[in-house]
Amino acid sequence: MSRKVLAIIFLGVITGLWVFAGSLTLPGEVIDFEIRNEDGVDTIFLEGSDIPAFKGGYPKLPGKEFNIMLPPGSNFRSIQIIEVSSENFEGINLSPSSPLIPLNGDQDFITKVMLKALKTKETIYSTDKFFPEVDHFVISAGVFRKYSYVTVRVHPFHYNPVTKELKVTTRFMIFVNYDDNMSRLSLDDSFYHDDVFRKDAEKTFINFHQFETSYHRLSREKNGISYDYLIVVPQITTDIEEMLNDFRNWKKALGHSVKLIDYTNDCGSTPMGLRNYLRNNYLSWKAKYLLIISNDNNPVQNPQLSTSDIPMINMYPPYYIQWASEYATEYPSDYWYADLTGDWDSNGNGYYGEKDEVWTYDTGVDLAAELYVGRIPINPNTSDNRNTIKSILARSIAYEDEISTRKDNIILAGTVLFYQNLNCGGGIRIDGALIKEKMRNDGVIPGIGWRMYEEAGVTPTPEYYSWITSDEAISATNLLNRWKTGNYSTIGWFAHGAWTGSARTVWNSDTNNDGCPQYTEIGQPWMIHLSYDFSGCSDMIIFSGSCLNSESEYDNLGKVLLRQCCVGFLGCSRVSYGDNYSGDPAVEYG
């Protein structure tokens, strides 16, 4: 059964949008959603949303995020959703949302999380009221480069699990209130001249053109000091200057202006000093990129302490993630250097970036970056290290300079993380192929990607999902051989992981013929491991969806690949969490 109702959330600046001093109003409506019924269970599909509105155990309802621009120098205060019209549906049978679970296969922790979600479900599904009890929550508010903003997730769907009624807010108004006294930025000439993120802002904010002229009163300066590419090292020496010569010249040839920063002398050898230095200069310099060249194996909790290296800062995830896992007490991250306008310890307790499921403990956390940050996690304090860094930079130059068809080709490697009804516990199947298919279908170039999915075991992916095609079976041998063809520029994988590598999960056989995968029937062969021979592998950018591949305290897989055969590695510094499409920004610090 399929009930189609006009419903895509459309929120835009239209004729008749009102703006008052300290507030603005935006209209929204639901015009194209679909309720699908399969085996007696209903699921709501909303265009543009893969995100359950609430945590595990609550009814599985989609929400929709909106990035709203505020006037220059303003501070977000509050938001209110006012219903204009609604529609009710009866006899709807919605299943509960799955909880966020660790993707490292920590079975004890998974059991605790699932039991907690089950208790939540029992409570919610026996309560005669509509859920969620809120119509929105604010994900982030602050400054994106110089643009004041708020990101809100609206919940137009509400469900009563006892009466099985679904209420859909089909039309609504969003009222946003704000202050004018933004203290984090000086609205001087450099503020109004800056247009570095102008195109990014136009693509990000639904009402960009409403305030565009307010932010860009002055045209970009033709003269003056400008450094759009910043490189920070522990201490500038003649040897380090020589190490960076070719890379700096290359960037200059591309039109960049490069500034070398001395962490010791310019920033006082503290992470806080570096962040303040960047905050004081990024607008006037028109800075856009920051490359950190330093070890990352000693992350710190207190950024005011003096350090010889340039460390990552420990961020603290939601309590419900911390409470049962040794891997999730803190998440080292460089994001703190990317966001220069947020207050990541707004409650002053010394724990940065605290986030909960519904509210933010550190209310100043701002997830919009002012700089794009990367790191080469090697200290340039020895000749061997400098030669390694120079080699990485040379490969980066070659990759950027390369013009070839392989730049449009990507390897999509998805493994099964958890099988359906694992250990007869009734859990859902979590298969990396689903995320890779979404990347393939919704990517910049739809349909591009060599698909490598699980074809072994009792329920291989192409059999379990009849609509999914695997171009080649995923295995360590196949992945390396495919890599060595030199026909691809990027790899994206999704698999269980550790700092040493990433592994497949294979239900080898149903030895007791009970139709349910037991832990004793499952094997986890490596898909990739840092001990492998990567000679002959072409330089690539790698996106890892595995836990711990970038666990900073170790000489991890990401570091090994960066030294040998990749020009960029995006990995998790701790355990990654998900339910296929979790959407919770709290787990994205790593």
Q: What is the mean pLDDT of each run of 10 residues along the chain (590 residues)?
A: 38 41 86 86 79 73 90 92 95 86 67 79 95 89 91 94 96 92 68 88 94 82 79 98 97 97 98 97 94 96 96 79 56 94 87 65 78 97 98 96 90 92 80 88 75 96 92 98 95 94 96 92 97 94 94 97 96 77 34
Kind of pairing between the strands at 540-544 and 490-494: parallel
Q: How far apart are the first and last CA of the chain?
A: 41
- CA 295 and chain centroid, separation: 23
Q: Hey, where are the domains in the chain?
A: 2-211, 229-376, 403-587
pLDDT at position 11: 40
Residue 174: closest CA among 17, 359, 51 = 17
Buried b (16+ CB within 10 A) or exposed e, 404-435: eeeeebbbbbbbbbbbbebbeeebebbbbbbb
pLDDT at 488: 94
With a CB cutoff of 8 Å and minimum separation 6, the contacts of 76 are 70, 138, 141, 142, 148, 149, 150, 176, 177, 178
Q: How many CB atoms lie within 10 A of CB 80?
A: 13
Cβ contact 490:543 at 8 Å: yes
Can 229-376 and 403-587 be said to share one CATH topology? yes
- Record the tokens describing residue 590, joined without a space: 């790593």
Instruction: Report the top-level CATH class of 229-376.
Output: alpha beta
Residue showing tokens 């996106």: 543
Pick from 574, 581, 55, 106: nearest CA to 315: 574
So what's the pLDDT on residue 7? 36
pLDDT of res. 421: 86
Supply the pLDDT for residue 184: 59
- Phi first, then psi: give them for residue 169, nearest 5 degrees: -80, 105
Secondary structure of residue 131 in the 3-state scheme: strand
> Which of the listed CATH numbers 3.40.50, 1.10.760, 2.60.120, 3.20.20 matches domain 403-587?
3.40.50
| Backbone torsion region of residue 66, taken as left when φ is above 0, otherwise alpha when ψ lies between -120 and 50, otherwise beta | beta
Question: What pLDDT does residue 316 have?
Answer: 83
- CATH for 2-211 (3.30.300.10, 2.60.40.3800, 2.60.40.10, 1.20.1250.20): 2.60.40.3800
Distance, CA of 265 to CA of 253 (rounded, Å): 28
pLDDT at 589: 31
Report residue 311 as tokens.
């460390």
